[in-house]
Structure 1
Protein backbone atom coordinates (compact mmCIF):
# COMPACT_ATOMS: atom_id res chain seq x y z
CA UNK A 1 0.00 0.00 0.00
CA UNK A 2 1.01 3.65 0.11
CA UNK A 3 0.79 6.75 2.25
CA UNK A 4 1.00 10.02 0.33
CA UNK A 5 -0.08 13.35 1.80
CA UNK A 6 0.06 16.88 0.41
CA UNK A 7 -0.91 19.99 2.37
CA UNK A 8 -1.59 23.43 0.93
CA UNK A 9 -1.35 26.47 3.19
CA UNK A 10 -0.99 30.11 2.19
CA UNK A 11 2.74 29.97 2.73
CA UNK A 12 3.32 26.99 0.47
CA UNK A 13 3.07 23.22 0.00
CA UNK A 14 4.17 20.31 2.17
CA UNK A 15 4.25 16.78 0.77
CA UNK A 16 5.05 13.48 2.51
CA UNK A 17 5.33 10.01 0.98
CA UNK A 18 6.42 6.72 2.47
CA UNK A 19 8.67 4.40 0.52
CA UNK A 20 7.37 0.90 1.33
CA UNK A 21 6.34 -1.30 -1.59
CA UNK A 22 4.46 -4.50 -0.74
CA UNK A 23 4.11 -7.34 -3.22
CA UNK A 24 2.63 -10.44 -1.68
CA UNK A 25 4.87 -11.26 1.28
CA UNK A 26 7.80 -9.23 -0.09
CA UNK A 27 8.53 -5.64 0.90
CA UNK A 28 10.99 -3.25 -0.71
CA UNK A 29 11.74 0.47 -0.65
CA UNK A 30 11.12 2.67 -3.66
CA UNK A 31 10.68 6.39 -4.10
CA UNK A 32 7.10 7.51 -4.73
CA UNK A 33 7.78 11.19 -5.38
CA UNK A 34 8.82 12.49 -8.80
CA UNK A 35 9.99 16.12 -9.02
CA UNK A 36 10.26 18.18 -12.20
CA UNK A 37 12.32 21.28 -11.50
CA UNK A 38 13.22 23.73 -14.28
CA UNK A 39 13.17 27.48 -14.81
CA UNK A 40 9.88 28.64 -13.27
CA UNK A 41 8.58 25.10 -13.63
CA UNK A 42 8.29 23.38 -10.26
CA UNK A 43 6.04 20.39 -9.60
CA UNK A 44 5.93 17.11 -7.73
CA UNK A 45 3.96 13.97 -8.54
CA UNK A 46 3.02 11.35 -5.92
CA UNK A 47 1.04 8.22 -6.73
CA UNK A 48 -0.84 5.38 -5.09
CA UNK A 49 -1.58 2.24 -7.10
CA UNK A 50 0.22 -0.19 -9.35
CA UNK A 51 3.92 0.63 -9.54
CA UNK A 52 4.16 -0.45 -13.18
CA UNK A 53 1.42 2.02 -14.17
CA UNK A 54 3.08 4.79 -12.18
CA UNK A 55 6.53 4.25 -13.66
CA UNK A 56 5.24 4.11 -17.22
CA UNK A 57 3.07 7.22 -16.89
CA UNK A 58 5.89 9.21 -15.26
CA UNK A 59 8.34 8.11 -17.97
CA UNK A 60 5.93 9.17 -20.72
CA UNK A 61 5.36 12.53 -19.01
CA UNK A 62 9.09 13.16 -18.51
CA UNK A 63 9.66 12.33 -22.16
CA UNK A 64 7.13 15.00 -23.17
CA UNK A 65 8.95 17.61 -21.11
CA UNK A 66 12.37 16.57 -22.40
CA UNK A 67 11.10 16.80 -25.97
CA UNK A 68 10.05 20.40 -25.43
CA UNK A 69 6.37 20.38 -24.49
CA UNK A 70 5.67 23.57 -22.53
CA UNK A 71 3.11 24.15 -19.76
CA UNK A 72 2.68 27.64 -18.38
CA UNK A 73 0.11 26.67 -15.73
CA UNK A 74 0.00 23.67 -13.42
CA UNK A 75 -3.46 22.50 -14.51
CA UNK A 76 -2.08 22.08 -18.05
CA UNK A 77 0.71 19.85 -16.70
CA UNK A 78 -1.93 17.90 -14.76
CA UNK A 79 -3.91 17.46 -17.99
CA UNK A 80 -0.75 16.25 -19.73
CA UNK A 81 0.02 13.72 -17.01
CA UNK A 82 -3.61 12.60 -17.05
CA UNK A 83 -3.30 11.92 -20.77
CA UNK A 84 -0.29 9.71 -20.08
CA UNK A 85 -2.23 7.79 -17.43
CA UNK A 86 -5.01 7.23 -19.96
CA UNK A 87 -2.42 6.20 -22.54
CA UNK A 88 -1.07 3.55 -20.17
CA UNK A 89 -4.66 2.47 -19.55
CA UNK A 90 -5.23 1.94 -23.25
CA UNK A 91 -2.00 -0.06 -23.48
CA UNK A 92 -2.15 -2.15 -20.31
CA UNK A 93 -5.56 -2.07 -18.60
CA UNK A 94 -7.09 -5.15 -20.26
CA UNK A 95 -3.99 -7.26 -19.68
CA UNK A 96 -3.74 -6.11 -16.06
CA UNK A 97 -7.37 -6.93 -15.36
CA UNK A 98 -6.99 -10.31 -17.08
CA UNK A 99 -4.22 -11.00 -14.60
CA UNK A 100 -6.41 -10.04 -11.64
CA UNK A 101 -4.88 -6.59 -11.13
CA UNK A 102 -6.84 -3.34 -10.92
CA UNK A 103 -5.89 -0.23 -12.88
CA UNK A 104 -6.07 2.07 -9.87
CA UNK A 105 -3.52 4.88 -10.08
CA UNK A 106 -4.41 7.93 -7.96
CA UNK A 107 -2.08 10.91 -8.22
CA UNK A 108 -1.33 14.06 -6.24
CA UNK A 109 0.31 16.85 -8.22
CA UNK A 110 1.43 20.09 -6.61
CA UNK A 111 3.61 23.05 -7.48
CA UNK A 112 3.66 26.32 -9.38
CA UNK A 113 4.45 27.06 -13.01
CA UNK A 114 5.37 30.28 -14.79
CA UNK A 115 1.90 31.87 -15.08
CA UNK A 116 0.30 30.49 -11.92
CA UNK A 117 -0.59 33.28 -9.51
CA UNK A 118 0.09 30.98 -6.57
CA UNK A 119 1.02 27.39 -5.72
CA UNK A 120 -1.58 24.77 -6.66
CA UNK A 121 -2.56 21.27 -5.55
CA UNK A 122 -4.52 18.69 -7.58
CA UNK A 123 -5.89 15.19 -7.12
CA UNK A 124 -5.92 13.19 -10.36
CA UNK A 125 -8.12 10.10 -10.69
CA UNK A 126 -7.33 6.91 -12.68
CA UNK A 127 -9.78 8.02 -15.38
CA UNK A 128 -7.69 11.14 -16.03
CA UNK A 129 -10.09 13.69 -14.51
CA UNK A 130 -9.06 15.86 -11.57
CA UNK A 131 -10.10 18.22 -8.78
CA UNK A 132 -8.18 21.21 -7.43
CA UNK A 133 -7.78 21.60 -3.69
CA UNK A 134 -8.81 24.99 -2.33
CA UNK A 135 -8.96 26.80 1.00
CA UNK A 136 -11.82 24.65 2.26
CA UNK A 137 -9.72 21.50 1.90
CA UNK A 138 -6.13 22.16 2.98
CA UNK A 139 -4.88 18.62 2.37
CA UNK A 140 -5.30 15.54 0.21
CA UNK A 141 -4.15 12.01 1.06
CA UNK A 142 -4.08 8.85 -1.02
CA UNK A 143 -3.33 5.23 -0.23
CA UNK A 144 -3.74 3.87 3.30
CA UNK A 145 -4.59 7.24 4.81
CA UNK A 146 -7.70 6.84 6.97
CA UNK A 147 -5.78 6.18 10.20
CA UNK A 148 -4.07 9.56 10.02
CA UNK A 149 -6.89 11.89 9.01
CA UNK A 150 -8.17 12.79 12.48
CA UNK A 151 -5.22 14.97 13.47
CA UNK A 152 -5.24 16.66 10.04
CA UNK A 153 -8.96 17.48 10.31
CA UNK A 154 -8.61 18.81 13.85
CA UNK A 155 -5.47 20.88 13.28
CA UNK A 156 -4.94 22.20 9.76
CA UNK A 157 -6.32 25.33 8.12
CA UNK A 158 -5.12 27.36 5.16
CA UNK A 159 -3.59 29.79 7.69
CA UNK A 160 -1.36 27.12 9.27
CA UNK A 161 2.38 27.57 8.94
CA UNK A 162 4.44 25.19 6.83
CA UNK A 163 6.18 24.09 10.03
CA UNK A 164 2.86 23.13 11.62
CA UNK A 165 1.80 21.44 8.38
CA UNK A 166 4.94 19.29 8.35
CA UNK A 167 4.65 18.46 12.04
CA UNK A 168 1.01 17.50 11.69
CA UNK A 169 1.70 15.63 8.48
CA UNK A 170 4.39 13.53 10.13
CA UNK A 171 2.12 12.68 13.06
CA UNK A 172 -0.57 11.68 10.57
CA UNK A 173 1.92 9.39 8.83
CA UNK A 174 3.06 8.01 12.19
CA UNK A 175 -0.53 7.19 13.20
CA UNK A 176 -0.88 5.28 9.95
CA UNK A 177 2.47 3.54 10.36
CA UNK A 178 1.60 2.08 13.77
CA UNK A 179 -1.81 0.95 12.51
CA UNK A 180 -0.89 -0.53 9.12
CA UNK A 181 1.97 -2.89 8.29
CA UNK A 182 2.14 -1.73 4.65
CA UNK A 183 3.25 1.85 5.47
CA UNK A 184 6.68 2.56 6.93
CA UNK A 185 9.90 4.59 6.94
CA UNK A 186 11.84 6.08 5.26
CA UNK A 187 9.64 9.01 4.25
CA UNK A 188 10.34 11.61 1.60
CA UNK A 189 9.40 15.20 2.41
CA UNK A 190 8.99 17.92 -0.23
CA UNK A 191 8.58 21.61 0.61
CA UNK A 192 7.59 24.39 -1.75
CA UNK A 193 7.31 28.05 -0.73
CA UNK A 194 4.89 30.16 -2.76
CA UNK A 195 6.51 32.04 -5.67
CA UNK A 196 9.96 30.56 -4.99
CA UNK A 197 9.92 28.19 -7.99
CA UNK A 198 12.21 25.84 -6.11
CA UNK A 199 11.40 22.48 -4.53
CA UNK A 200 13.26 21.28 -1.43
CA UNK A 201 13.42 17.53 -0.75
CA UNK A 202 14.64 15.52 2.23
CA UNK A 203 14.46 11.84 3.26
CA UNK A 204 13.84 10.99 6.93
CA UNK A 205 14.68 7.57 8.35
CA UNK A 206 13.09 5.93 11.37
CA UNK A 207 16.19 6.81 13.39
CA UNK A 208 15.73 10.51 12.53
CA UNK A 209 12.18 10.69 13.90
CA UNK A 210 11.89 7.84 16.40
CA UNK A 211 12.19 10.20 19.37
CA UNK A 212 9.39 12.40 17.96
CA UNK A 213 7.18 9.34 17.55
CA UNK A 214 7.89 8.23 21.13
CA UNK A 215 7.25 11.72 22.48
CA UNK A 216 3.93 11.90 20.65
CA UNK A 217 2.84 8.57 22.17
CA UNK A 218 3.77 9.83 25.65
CA UNK A 219 1.96 13.14 25.09
CA UNK A 220 -1.19 11.30 24.03
CA UNK A 221 -1.13 9.19 27.20
CA UNK A 222 -0.66 12.29 29.35
CA UNK A 223 -3.49 14.09 27.57
CA UNK A 224 -5.77 11.10 28.11
CA UNK A 225 -4.92 11.03 31.82
CA UNK A 226 -5.80 14.75 32.04
CA UNK A 227 -9.28 14.34 30.56
CA UNK A 228 -11.86 14.82 33.39
CA UNK A 229 -13.71 11.69 34.43
CA UNK A 230 -16.74 13.09 36.27
CA UNK A 231 -18.89 12.85 33.14
CA UNK A 232 -18.44 9.08 33.17
CA UNK A 233 -20.14 8.83 36.56
CA UNK A 234 -23.49 9.26 34.80
CA UNK A 235 -23.12 5.78 33.39
CA UNK A 236 -20.79 4.07 35.87
CA UNK A 237 -23.08 4.98 38.80
CA UNK A 238 -25.79 2.87 37.16
CA UNK A 239 -23.67 -0.27 37.28
CA UNK A 240 -24.84 -2.81 39.86
CA UNK A 241 -22.55 -3.63 42.75
CA UNK A 242 -20.77 -6.97 42.44
CA UNK A 243 -22.62 -9.80 44.13
CA UNK A 244 -20.90 -11.77 46.87
CA UNK A 245 -20.09 -15.34 46.03
CA UNK A 246 -22.41 -17.75 47.76
CA UNK A 247 -21.54 -21.35 48.66
Structure 2
Protein backbone atom coordinates (compact mmCIF):
# COMPACT_ATOMS: atom_id res chain seq x y z
CA UNK A 1 0.00 0.00 0.00
CA UNK A 2 1.00 3.61 -0.44
CA UNK A 3 0.45 6.97 1.20
CA UNK A 4 0.72 9.97 -1.12
CA UNK A 5 -0.71 13.36 -0.13
CA UNK A 6 -0.99 16.48 -2.26
CA UNK A 7 -1.99 19.82 -0.68
CA UNK A 8 -2.80 23.09 -2.42
CA UNK A 9 -2.93 26.31 -0.40
CA UNK A 10 -2.77 29.89 -1.63
CA UNK A 11 0.98 30.06 -0.99
CA UNK A 12 1.84 26.94 -2.94
CA UNK A 13 1.89 23.14 -3.04
CA UNK A 14 3.00 20.50 -0.55
CA UNK A 15 3.43 16.81 -1.36
CA UNK A 16 4.29 13.90 0.93
CA UNK A 17 4.98 10.34 -0.23
CA UNK A 18 6.04 7.29 1.73
CA UNK A 19 8.58 4.89 0.26
CA UNK A 20 7.58 1.44 1.52
CA UNK A 21 7.09 -1.29 -1.07
CA UNK A 22 5.60 -4.57 0.16
CA UNK A 23 5.61 -7.73 -1.94
CA UNK A 24 4.43 -10.74 0.01
CA UNK A 25 6.67 -10.87 3.06
CA UNK A 26 9.39 -8.75 1.44
CA UNK A 27 9.66 -5.05 2.24
CA UNK A 28 11.81 -2.62 0.28
CA UNK A 29 12.14 1.14 -0.19
CA UNK A 30 11.41 2.90 -3.46
CA UNK A 31 10.80 6.53 -4.32
CA UNK A 32 7.19 7.26 -5.31
CA UNK A 33 7.51 10.91 -6.35
CA UNK A 34 9.14 12.20 -9.55
CA UNK A 35 10.13 15.82 -10.14
CA UNK A 36 10.50 17.59 -13.48
CA UNK A 37 12.31 20.90 -13.16
CA UNK A 38 13.18 23.10 -16.16
CA UNK A 39 12.95 26.80 -16.95
CA UNK A 40 9.36 27.89 -16.25
CA UNK A 41 8.41 24.26 -15.69
CA UNK A 42 7.95 22.83 -12.21
CA UNK A 43 6.01 19.58 -11.99
CA UNK A 44 5.84 16.57 -9.67
CA UNK A 45 4.11 13.20 -9.97
CA UNK A 46 3.12 10.73 -7.24
CA UNK A 47 1.58 7.33 -7.93
CA UNK A 48 -0.21 4.50 -6.17
CA UNK A 49 -0.99 1.18 -7.82
CA UNK A 50 0.53 -1.68 -9.75
CA UNK A 51 4.27 -1.14 -10.06
CA UNK A 52 4.59 -2.52 -13.59
CA UNK A 53 1.90 -0.14 -14.83
CA UNK A 54 3.48 2.81 -13.06
CA UNK A 55 7.01 2.11 -14.27
CA UNK A 56 5.95 1.71 -17.89
CA UNK A 57 3.74 4.82 -17.86
CA UNK A 58 6.57 6.84 -16.33
CA UNK A 59 9.09 5.67 -18.96
CA UNK A 60 6.71 6.76 -21.70
CA UNK A 61 6.04 10.10 -20.01
CA UNK A 62 9.75 10.73 -19.44
CA UNK A 63 10.26 10.49 -23.21
CA UNK A 64 7.47 12.99 -23.82
CA UNK A 65 8.94 15.46 -21.33
CA UNK A 66 12.31 15.20 -23.07
CA UNK A 67 10.83 15.73 -26.53
CA UNK A 68 8.10 18.30 -25.84
CA UNK A 69 7.46 21.52 -23.97
CA UNK A 70 4.09 22.05 -22.31
CA UNK A 71 3.00 25.56 -21.44
CA UNK A 72 0.08 24.63 -19.19
CA UNK A 73 -0.41 21.97 -16.56
CA UNK A 74 -3.55 20.49 -18.07
CA UNK A 75 -1.65 19.73 -21.29
CA UNK A 76 1.05 17.82 -19.42
CA UNK A 77 -1.64 16.02 -17.42
CA UNK A 78 -3.45 15.08 -20.63
CA UNK A 79 -0.18 13.72 -22.04
CA UNK A 80 0.40 11.61 -18.94
CA UNK A 81 -3.17 10.33 -19.08
CA UNK A 82 -2.61 9.22 -22.66
CA UNK A 83 0.37 7.15 -21.51
CA UNK A 84 -1.81 5.38 -18.95
CA UNK A 85 -4.25 4.55 -21.75
CA UNK A 86 -1.34 3.37 -23.89
CA UNK A 87 -0.16 0.99 -21.17
CA UNK A 88 -3.73 -0.20 -20.67
CA UNK A 89 -4.06 -1.00 -24.37
CA UNK A 90 -0.79 -2.95 -24.27
CA UNK A 91 -1.01 -4.74 -20.92
CA UNK A 92 -4.48 -4.68 -19.35
CA UNK A 93 -5.75 -7.93 -20.90
CA UNK A 94 -2.59 -9.85 -20.01
CA UNK A 95 -2.54 -8.52 -16.45
CA UNK A 96 -6.20 -9.30 -15.83
CA UNK A 97 -5.78 -12.77 -17.30
CA UNK A 98 -3.01 -13.34 -14.75
CA UNK A 99 -5.27 -12.15 -11.94
CA UNK A 100 -3.91 -8.61 -11.54
CA UNK A 101 -6.11 -5.53 -11.53
CA UNK A 102 -5.01 -2.72 -13.85
CA UNK A 103 -4.61 -0.06 -11.19
CA UNK A 104 -2.78 3.26 -11.14
CA UNK A 105 -3.85 6.44 -9.38
CA UNK A 106 -1.74 9.54 -9.79
CA UNK A 107 -1.38 12.99 -8.26
CA UNK A 108 0.26 15.63 -10.46
CA UNK A 109 1.04 19.11 -9.22
CA UNK A 110 3.03 22.12 -10.30
CA UNK A 111 2.99 25.22 -12.46
CA UNK A 112 4.04 25.76 -16.08
CA UNK A 113 4.89 29.05 -17.76
CA UNK A 114 1.38 30.03 -18.92
CA UNK A 115 -0.50 28.86 -15.82
CA UNK A 116 -1.93 31.70 -13.78
CA UNK A 117 -1.30 29.74 -10.58
CA UNK A 118 -0.06 26.43 -9.20
CA UNK A 119 -2.37 23.46 -9.81
CA UNK A 120 -3.08 19.98 -8.46
CA UNK A 121 -4.68 17.08 -10.37
CA UNK A 122 -5.88 13.56 -9.57
CA UNK A 123 -5.77 10.97 -12.37
CA UNK A 124 -7.65 7.68 -12.37
CA UNK A 125 -6.62 4.31 -13.89
CA UNK A 126 -8.69 5.10 -16.99
CA UNK A 127 -6.50 8.15 -17.70
CA UNK A 128 -9.21 10.71 -16.94
CA UNK A 129 -8.60 13.41 -14.36
CA UNK A 130 -10.05 16.05 -12.05
CA UNK A 131 -8.44 19.27 -10.87
CA UNK A 132 -8.52 20.15 -7.20
CA UNK A 133 -11.13 22.86 -6.79
CA UNK A 134 -12.35 25.06 -3.98
CA UNK A 135 -13.47 22.26 -1.66
CA UNK A 136 -11.05 20.34 0.54
CA UNK A 137 -7.52 21.61 -0.30
CA UNK A 138 -5.95 18.16 -0.45
CA UNK A 139 -6.07 14.75 -2.13
CA UNK A 140 -4.71 11.38 -0.99
CA UNK A 141 -4.02 8.23 -2.98
CA UNK A 142 -3.27 4.86 -1.48
CA UNK A 143 -4.08 4.32 2.19
CA UNK A 144 -6.35 7.31 2.70
CA UNK A 145 -8.70 6.46 5.56
CA UNK A 146 -6.59 7.07 8.66
CA UNK A 147 -5.04 10.39 7.66
CA UNK A 148 -8.08 12.35 6.51
CA UNK A 149 -9.67 13.42 9.83
CA UNK A 150 -6.92 15.81 10.90
CA UNK A 151 -6.72 17.29 7.39
CA UNK A 152 -10.48 17.85 7.30
CA UNK A 153 -10.47 19.50 10.72
CA UNK A 154 -7.45 21.77 10.36
CA UNK A 155 -6.47 22.44 6.74
CA UNK A 156 -7.85 25.46 4.86
CA UNK A 157 -7.04 27.10 1.52
CA UNK A 158 -5.49 30.06 3.34
CA UNK A 159 -3.38 27.88 5.64
CA UNK A 160 0.34 28.62 5.48
CA UNK A 161 2.66 26.17 3.76
CA UNK A 162 4.32 25.53 7.12
CA UNK A 163 1.03 24.59 8.75
CA UNK A 164 0.10 22.47 5.73
CA UNK A 165 3.34 20.50 5.96
CA UNK A 166 2.92 20.06 9.70
CA UNK A 167 -0.64 18.78 9.33
CA UNK A 168 0.39 16.69 6.35
CA UNK A 169 3.08 14.93 8.36
CA UNK A 170 0.65 14.23 11.21
CA UNK A 171 -1.75 12.79 8.64
CA UNK A 172 1.00 10.48 7.41
CA UNK A 173 1.93 9.60 10.98
CA UNK A 174 -1.67 8.66 11.81
CA UNK A 175 -1.64 6.37 8.79
CA UNK A 176 1.73 4.89 9.72
CA UNK A 177 0.75 3.93 13.26
CA UNK A 178 -2.51 2.38 12.00
CA UNK A 179 -1.08 0.44 9.06
CA UNK A 180 1.90 -1.88 8.66
CA UNK A 181 2.33 -1.13 4.95
CA UNK A 182 3.06 2.62 5.16
CA UNK A 183 6.31 3.80 6.72
CA UNK A 184 9.41 5.98 6.61
CA UNK A 185 11.40 7.30 4.87
CA UNK A 186 9.09 9.98 3.46
CA UNK A 187 9.78 12.36 0.59
CA UNK A 188 8.51 15.93 0.88
CA UNK A 189 8.06 18.27 -2.08
CA UNK A 190 7.46 22.02 -1.68
CA UNK A 191 6.52 24.49 -4.39
CA UNK A 192 5.90 28.19 -3.78
CA UNK A 193 3.50 29.94 -6.15
CA UNK A 194 5.14 31.56 -9.21
CA UNK A 195 8.65 30.52 -8.09
CA UNK A 196 9.18 27.81 -10.74
CA UNK A 197 11.46 26.03 -8.31
CA UNK A 198 10.66 22.78 -6.52
CA UNK A 199 12.36 21.81 -3.26
CA UNK A 200 12.73 18.14 -2.26
CA UNK A 201 13.55 16.79 1.19
CA UNK A 202 13.72 13.23 2.51
CA UNK A 203 13.02 12.47 6.17
CA UNK A 204 14.01 9.31 8.01
CA UNK A 205 12.17 8.04 11.07
CA UNK A 206 14.91 9.33 13.38
CA UNK A 207 14.41 12.85 11.99
CA UNK A 208 10.74 13.11 12.97
CA UNK A 209 10.22 10.56 15.73
CA UNK A 210 10.26 13.32 18.36
CA UNK A 211 7.41 15.10 16.56
CA UNK A 212 5.38 11.90 16.55
CA UNK A 213 6.02 11.43 20.27
CA UNK A 214 5.15 15.06 21.01
CA UNK A 215 1.89 14.74 19.07
CA UNK A 216 0.91 11.60 20.98
CA UNK A 217 1.53 13.41 24.27
CA UNK A 218 -0.40 16.49 23.14
CA UNK A 219 -3.38 14.33 22.18
CA UNK A 220 -3.35 12.57 25.54
CA UNK A 221 -3.22 15.90 27.38
CA UNK A 222 -5.98 17.41 25.26
CA UNK A 223 -8.20 14.39 25.88
CA UNK A 224 -7.93 14.91 29.63
CA UNK A 225 -9.28 18.45 29.14
CA UNK A 226 -12.34 17.43 27.13
CA UNK A 227 -15.56 18.03 29.10
CA UNK A 228 -17.27 15.04 30.71
CA UNK A 229 -20.67 16.45 31.75
CA UNK A 230 -22.32 14.81 28.75
CA UNK A 231 -21.32 11.37 30.08
CA UNK A 232 -23.35 11.61 33.28
CA UNK A 233 -26.62 10.42 31.73
CA UNK A 234 -24.89 7.28 30.47
CA UNK A 235 -22.92 6.46 33.61
CA UNK A 236 -25.67 7.43 36.08
CA UNK A 237 -27.54 4.17 35.58
CA UNK A 238 -24.55 1.87 35.99
CA UNK A 239 -25.04 -0.40 39.01
CA UNK A 240 -22.70 0.08 41.92
CA UNK A 241 -20.21 -2.73 42.43
CA UNK A 242 -19.35 -3.96 45.86
CA UNK A 243 -15.67 -3.73 46.69
The yes-or-no answer on 1:236 pairing with 2:235 is yes
Q: Where does residue 211 of structure 2 map in the other structure?
A: 212
- 1:20-57 deviations in whole A, cap 9, x for unaligned? 00111111000000111111011000000011111111
Q: Distance in 2 between matches of 1:95 and 1:217?
A: 46
- The 3-state SS of whatever aligns with 2:178 is coil
d(CA) in 2 for partners of 1:11, 1:205: 26
Identify the residue that residue 176 of structure 1 maps to in structure 2: 175
Measure the CA separation in 2 of the matches of 1:135 and 1:207: 36
Deviation at 1:163, TM superposition (A): 0.2
The answer to whether the aligner puts 1:143 opposite 2:142 as a matched pair is yes
Matched, 1:160 2:167: no
Give structure 2 stretches of 5+ with no counterpart: none
My pick for the range that moved more, 166-175 or 87-96, is 87-96
**How many residues of Structure 1 are paired with residues of Structure 2 in the alignment?**
243
Partner of 1:80: 79
Match of 2:130? 131
The answer as to 2:55 corresponding to 1:55 is yes
* Residue 5 of structure 2 is aligned to residue 39 of structure 1: no
Aligned Cα root-mean-square deviation (Å): 1.0
* Alignment map for 1:97-112 (pairs within 5 Å): 97-112=96-111
The ranges of structure 1 where at least 4 consecutive aligned residues each deviate by more than 6 angstroms after the TM superposition are: none
Deviations 1:47-82 (A, max 9, x none): 000111111111101101212x22110011000000
1:23 paired to 2:23: yes
Question: How far apart, CA to CA, are the structure 1 residues paired with 2:182 and 2:141?
Answer: 12
**What's the secondary structure of 1:83's corresponding residue?**
helix
CA contact (8 A) 2:35 2:43 kept: yes
Distance 1:227 1:70 in 2: 55
Contact 2:136/2:152 (CA < 8 Å) preserved in 1? no
Name the counterpart of 1:185.
184
Larger Rg over CA atoms: 1
Matches of 1:132 and 1:115 in 2, distance apart?
Answer: 17
Q: Shift of the alpha carbon at 1:135?
A: 2.3
1:241 Cα deviation from its structure 2 partner: 2.3
Residue 13 of structure 2 corresponds to which residue in structure 1?
13
